[in-house]
Amino acid sequence: MIEPKFEAAVGMSRKWDAREAGKEVAETAIKKLSRPPDFFLLFSTIHYEKHGGFQEFLNGVWDVLPKGTPLIGGTVVGFMNNYGCYTRGASALAISYSNMDVSIGIGHNTKRSPEKAAKRCTKMIKNGLITSKYPNKFLLSIISSGIVPSIPIIGRKRVITSKYGDVLLKTLNATCRSLQIGPGREDEIIETLADELKEYDIVGGSTLDDNKWEKNYQFFDNKVFTNSVVALGFKTDLSWKINSTHGLKPTGVKIIPTKTTLYNCAIQRIEDKPAAEQFLKIVKWPEDLFDESIHRRTLFYPLCYKKEDFLCPRVIALIIKNTIIFTNKISKDDDLEIYSASGTGLINSVKENLDEYERNNLKFGLVVSCCARLEALGKATFKEHEILDKFYGEIPFLVFFASGEDVYKSGSSPVRLNESFNVINFYN
Amino acid sequence: MKDDPIEHVLDDLMRLDDILACMVARRNMISVMPSGEGFKPEVNQIWDVIKRAMDDVFTVIREYSGAGLGEMEFRLQEYEVLFYIFPDTENALVAIVPALANKGLLEVEMENARREILKSMNISEKEKLLATV
């Protein structure tokens, strides 16, 4: 009997020209494989938008990639791989394995109709894998993240206190549907994906730019999309283990939201008082800390709630008048607790995560981490890379920094996370 | 003229939107500048005062580089100046960025640039040594 052959390879490019970078990221991955890849995951930072554009970037990839290779991906804030740690460039993971059936899916208008988009995507996945006999089912989902609205005269502000604030808040629900600006509604997408693909383990993340929350793109086959969910599903005899850590510490300070809005992504009232004022009172912060650095400041003080075994952190994205807006859903039924993040805690959580894994028969690692961790750690992200490098050695791995992470383990509830580090190690 | 690999590294940094200026410098001296169009225009209006403040920072760098000083930074008006020091030297990779830039992301590429420059410096040191043998 012929032993099934497994091969994994990581590609990388730091070139500036979109087409050249596309070619290089594909070439560097494929040259390490002895047969064509069975799928190709592609991640890039936003920079190619101004250096030829993402269609040219994809054209470059397809100059090299064998026709018909299932490909998904998108723009990310940064990535780590066997080569290093980067916030500019492109990276890819190419997998070649005979005992695996692969299918890709896409759904559009995620901010307008998240459920419909997710259902269309899962239908394509199911149809593509209908004849597969392999027992283990995995799905990687990549979803378009939220977009911070740009208001005439005011521009893109993190804190809006002017009279336009009220108008903006009232119209944000509508603009999310009509213009697809506002929350990414990824919570609703992951819930539908999990509901439609109950037997799958699902891990995913959201596409973003360079943390400005102005634009993001998804890659599917040979085309570039916006406001879409793309997914890659496979059935295989490989096994895997998913582990999520965050390194946050509870502070004991509780926030009780009593009125929410904007698809439950915004708190209007805390303990029946105007949310922003009451938040400042509870955390004992002076009012002037609500400035344009609010998002970066609250990376270190996320508001968290518990869902089954998971801690779901939420970072403040915007303050409009007295309303606090988060990048993802919170629930008025769940009390929130402020947690604190430290550089040491975040870095230790990587080691703590990897300590749960064996290296025997490990084939490759895929990690979805949060852009908030990258922004909070900055140069110290290289310390995370040292830990990864020590663990994986020559084994291919790819970490992509998304704007929110999704995890669904078959049989449990799906969760939308922020500030988390999610490792999926694949074995045979 | 031979291509300077350090110039290339600085040129790469300058292509990032939020890097307004970058250089390899020491007190009273800019050793390497980007080869392209130079600094972005918004830096010009504040350059004189930033330059004076930078020289003061380099006094501290000279004093503590040997003790393991790795990075320094200061904020002046709407700008931040980041110093990534080359170990055991008085030299640093310096970048001027907007105060509200996503500094964490820039730090990653600054560190990549510092590593690249150090590699180039080590290669040219080796070449010098070989030439004297």
Within a domain: A416 = yes
Minimum Cα–Cα distance from A299: chain B residue: B104
ipTM > 0.90? yes
**Of A307, A340, A373, which residue sits at a domain end?**
A340
Are A241 and A258 within one domain? no
What range does the domain containing A363 cover? 6-146+183-245+344-427
Are A360 and A410 within one domain? yes
What are the tens digits of pLDDT across the range A182-194? 888 999 999 999 9
What are the tens digits of pLDDT across the range A364-403? 999 999 999 999 999 999 999 999 999 999 999 999 999 9
| Backbone CA torsion sign across A9, A15, A16, A19 | negative
Provide the whole-model pTM: 0.94
Are A16 and A107 within one domain? yes
Minimum Cα–Cα distance from A157: chain B residue: B100
What are the tens digits of pLDDT across the range A76-120? 999 999 999 999 999 999 999 999 999 999 999 999 999 999 999
Taking CB atoms and an 8 Å cut-off, how many pairs form between chains A and B? Answer: 55
Are A214 and A311 within one domain? no
Has residue B2 got a pLDDT over 70? no
Are A295 and A331 within one domain? yes
Are A73 and A113 within one domain? yes
- Total domains in the fold of chain A: 2
Has residue A153 got a pLDDT over 70? no
Are A63 and A190 within one domain? yes
Are A219 and A267 within one domain? no
Q: Which CATH architecture has domain B5-132?
A: 2-Layer Sandwich (3.30)
Q: Please name every residue paired with A266 in a beta bridge, in sequence order, or none if there are none.
A: A261, A325
With an 8 Å Cβ cutoff, are A376 and B104 in contact? yes
Most A CBs within 10 Å, among B12, B75, B105, to test the A interface: B105
- Chain B residues in contact with A210 by the CB 8 A cut-off are 17, 102, 105
Are A322 and A371 within one domain? no
- Chain A residues in contact with B71 by the CB 8 A cut-off are 379
pLDDT value of residue B118: 94
Within a domain: A152 = no
Are A349 and A323 within one domain? no
pLDDT value of residue A175: 78
Q: Which of residues 39 through 98 in chain B touch A, CB cutoff 8 A?
A: 71
Domain positions in chain B are 5-132
Are A357 and A412 within one domain? yes
Are A292 and A416 within one domain? no
